[in-house]
C-alpha cells in the first residue's frame, strides 16, 4: 500500500471515531455522568462529561459511519484505492470507544489536578484513538486486523494530533468550544 492509500485508509477508518467528541459538544448540557460525585476532593469526571453529550457523540459517529458506507464505492473509485467497509461491530465500537477514551482521559485529568478544559498534551490528542482502536479490536478483531495494519496505525498516531488541533481550533473560532485544544 502506498503512502496516499495508507493516509486515506487511516482517515476513512477513523472518521467515525474522530467525530464523536466534537459532536458531543452539540449535545450540550444534561446530567453529568459522574452525578457530581467526587473522589479525594475532586470530581470523578466533571460537568463536561454528560450522558446526553455521550449519546449524541456516539450517535453522530455511527451515522457518519453509515453515510461513509453509502458513499464508499464512488469515493474508492475517485481515489483509486479500496477503502474499508465498516462492519456493524466497527460502526458501534469506533465512536463508543472514542467516547470511552475521552471519559477515561477526564478521569485521569481530575486525578492529576487539572480542571475542566485545561490541556494535557498527548492525552488530549490520543485518548479517543486508544479507546476507539481498543474497542474495535475487542468487538471485531477480524475487521480491525484487516484495516489497521501497522502502517495505518502509525498514520493514525501521526495524523490525529494534527487533525485534532486543527478541528478544535475551528470549533473554538466558531464559538463551539471554550478552548482551542
Share of the chain above pLDDT 90, in %: 54
Q: How does DSSP classify residue 30?
A: S
Q: Could you tell me which residue, 24 or 113, shows the higher pLDDT?
A: 24
Q: Could you tell me which residue, 8 or 176, shows the higher pLDDT?
A: 8
Q: What is the pLDDT of residue 22?
A: 80
Each residue of 55-107: pLDDT tens digit?
999 999 999 999 999 999 999 999 999 999 999 999 999 999 999 998 888 88
* C-alpha to C-alpha distance for 49 and 46, rounded to whole angstroms: 6
CB 20 within 8 A of CB 98: yes
Does 29 have pLDDT greater than 80?
Answer: no
Angle subtended by helix axes 3-27 and 51-79, to nearest 10: 150
* C-alpha to C-alpha distance for 88 and 37, rounded to whole angstroms: 35
Three-state DSSP at 38 gives strand
CB 84 within 8 A of CB 146: yes
Half-sphere exposure of 65 (CA within 13 A, CB side): 25
* For range 118-129, the mean pLDDT: 74
**Residues in a beta bridge with 43:** 38
Which is nearest to 131 in space by CA: 18, 3, 53, 7? 18
Confidence of residue 125 (pLDDT cuts 50, 70, 90): confident
Q: Global pTM?
A: 0.86
Q: Could you tell me which residue, 111 or 52, shows the higher pLDDT?
A: 52
Which is nearest to 160 in space by CA: 118, 119, 130, 116? 130
Q: What is the pLDDT of residue 164?
A: 79
Question: Where are the chain's structural domains?
Answer: 3-173
Amino acid at each position: 500500500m502506498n503512502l496516499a492509500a495508507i493516509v486515506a485508509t487511516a482517515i476513512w477508518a477513523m472518521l467515525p471515531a474522530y467525530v464523536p467528541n466534537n459532536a458531543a459538544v452539540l449535545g450540550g448540557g444534561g446530567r453529568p455522568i459522574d452525578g457530581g460525585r467526587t473522589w479525594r476532593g475532586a470530581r470523578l469526571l466533571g460537568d463536561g462529561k454528560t450522558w446526553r453529550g455521550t449519546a449524541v457523540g456516539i450517535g453522530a459517529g455511527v451515522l457518519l459511519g453509515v453515510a461513509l458506507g453509502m458513499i464508499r464505492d464512488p469515493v474508492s473509485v475517485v481515489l483509486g484505492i479500496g477503502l474499508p467497509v465498516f462492519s456493524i461491530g466497527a460502526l458501534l465500537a469506533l465512536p463508543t470507544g472514542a467516547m470511552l477514551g475521552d471519559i477515561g482521559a477526564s478521569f485521569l485529568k481530575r486525578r492529576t489536578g487539572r480542571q475542566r478544559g485545561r490541556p494535557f498534551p498527548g492525552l488530549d490528542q490520543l485518548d479517543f484513538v486508544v479507546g476507539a482502536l481498543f474497542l474495535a479490536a475487542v468487538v471485531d478483531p477480524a475487521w480491525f486486523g484487516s484495516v489497521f495494519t501497522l502502517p495505518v496505525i502509525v498514520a493514525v498516531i501521526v495524523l490525529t494530533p494534527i487533525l485534532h488541533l486543527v478541528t478544535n481550533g475551528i470549533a473554538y473560532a466558531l464559538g463551539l468550544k471554550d478552548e482551542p485544544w
